Amino acid sequence: MKKNFSWAVRVYFEDTDVGGVVYYANYLKYLERARSEWLRALGFDQGRLMAETGLGFAVRSIAAEYLKPARLDDELRVASRIESHGRVQVVFDQRIERGDETLLTAKVRIACMYLSRGKAAPMPQDIYEQFEQLT
């Protein structure tokens, strides 16, 4: 099983500010999409998870270091790995890269939640076991 995940993204005009540089909040969208695509690649459908169990994943905290700017038309790669996990939360180590350059590093703590109550919940056993294999 692949312990790291990589997802490609291109910078579009809508992602940039007036200077053609990616607006800082859009990097967070790239990180989110990469995590979602990783779950999808592992065979987990978040929409179905929510509909069938009422569970979902939410960002609890993020620490990001913006190192270099991405610009219009750049082809980026979001590299992700699981740093640690427990029954309720998982910490992702993510990077946004352009070629050999690292543009952003981030530690993202995700919690599994009962969405209707906004309370922490143990993640489903099958997802937990997948994360166990990836740590």
17 given a catalytic annotation: yes
Identify the active-site residue in 15, 17, 93, 126. Answer: 17
Residue type at position 51:
A
Q: How many whole angstroms separate alpha carbon 39 and alpha carbon 57?
A: 11
The answer to whether the beta carbons of residues 104 and 27 sit under 8 Å apart is yes
The SS3 assignment for 102 reads: strand
Of the candidates 65, 47, 64, the one whose C-alpha atom is nearest the C-alpha of residue 56 is 47
Among all residues, which ones are annotated catalytic? Answer: 17
